[in-house]
Structure formats: structure tokens, C-alpha cells
Amino acid sequence: MATFGKTAIGSSVTYTWMRDGVIGCKFSLPENGKVTKISAYLHPDNWDKASGVIYSDASGAPNVRQGYTTEYELLGTDWAWYDFIFDIPISLLAAAYWLNIVGNGTSNRYYYYDTGGTNQFCYEHDINGYTVSPFPPPNPLGTPTGYFDREMCIYATYTPTEEKPLISKPLISPLLVSTPIIRQIKPFSKRFPKFEPRVVT
């Protein structure tokens, strides 16, 4: 297993006011992989239910939804790492992605952070106009309410996947042109099929 994102707890704490909204950060996946979960360091106050969602990046903005988890209740009374697990791992190519937490509730949502890159953090106050739950997360996300130069404490766990190597076919040697042709005969058998070569003269 490997991770990408921010796994350490930041030195600053703040909040974003939202109702049915989303908060998240952009990070780069260094290799192809299958993401199994998103983890975020959050305070459970003012959250009703929440889910993890990954969006692709388009010129620095979250764009197409890549996958999302089921909704979770944030239990407890204090800061903790909350895991949002995908029912089926999400296959991603090496690229930049937005790791987000989307959910409903009331008032301020608190999170730790450090100074990040330009517009690395995004937030959306309300996805559906205070009318319905933000689940499932919208696709695409649309234009966020705003951005900050912050690196939120959120990361994804993934299993690296190898690319299939290209298999080159060997050249046919001229010396084999005059050799007898070998064919395979498949005798009829319901239980134990066999392949027996036979020389054709």
C-alpha cells in the first residue's frame, strides 16, 4: 500500500462555513494505482453525513468525478482521522487529482492545514441550493465557491498497478522455412482434452 496527499497533521486550524458542500485539496498521484480509501483529519461537529470523492483536475480546478464512497456518520466528539472506504477500488492513472469530503450538516466545518500551493484547496458552500443532500456527489463538480493556498490534512491510500509491457513478436528465422510443419490435433475427450503434435509429411 502507498499514499498520496497530506498524511501529517497541519500546524494551523480553521473552518469553512457550508451546508451541503465540499472541501478538498489537489495532490499528485505519482504512479498508476487503485485507490481504496480517502482519509481526512476532521472534527465531527456540524457534520451530518459525509462521503469521500475524487475529481480529476482540469487546469487547476476539480472537474470529472472519478469515484466516491458511501455516506458515513462522523462519530465521536474530538479530532480524528476518518476513513472513507470505496466499495470497489478506483483505478487511476498517474496525474493530479482532487481529494474531497462532501457532506451535509450545518454551520462551520473545521480542519487542520499548512500553507500549500496556489489555489490548492477548494470549497463549495452549497451544492444543491440548500434543498437536497449532496449525495451522490455531483459530476462534474462545477465551479467551486472559492480557493485558498492551503494544504488540508487529507490523503488517499492506493495499491500501485504495473503497466502491461509491450510484447514484441520474434522474427521468423529463414532456417525454419524448409522444416516440416507442425500441427496440433485436439482429440475428442469430455474429461481430459489433450494436444498432441503430429508431423505432416
Q: pLDDT tens-digit profile of 28-69?
A: 999 999 999 999 999 888 777 889 999 999 999 999 999 999
pLDDT higher for 109 or 201? 109
Residue 45 lies in a domain: yes
Q: pLDDT tens-digit profile of 92-146?
A: 999 999 999 988 777 778 889 999 999 999 988 776 554 445 678 888 888 888 9
Percent of the chain at pLDDT exceeding 90: 49
Report the residue count for the chain. 201
Checking if the pLDDT of 192 tops 80, the result is no
Neighbours of 137 (CB within 10 A): 22
Distance CA 78, CA 109 (A): 13
Residue 180 lies in a domain: no
Q: How many domains does the chain have?
A: 1
Residue 104 lies in a domain: yes
Q: Hey, which residues does 83 pair with through a beta bridge?
A: 39
Residue 118 lies in a domain: yes
76: left (phi over 0), alpha (psi -120 to 50) or beta: left
**pTM of the predicted model, to two decimals?**
0.77
- Using an 8 Å Cβ cutoff, are 24 and 62 in contact? yes
Residue 179 lies in a domain: no
Residue 190 lies in a domain: no
Give the CATH number, domain containing residue 88: 2.60.120
> In terms of residue numbers, what domain contains 19?
2-160
Distance CA 126, CA 16 (A): 11
Residue 184 lies in a domain: no
pLDDT at 199: 45
Residue 200 lies in a domain: no
Four-residue CA torsion sign, 59, 65, 68, 71: positive
- Using an 8 Å Cβ cutoff, are 86 and 109 in contact? no
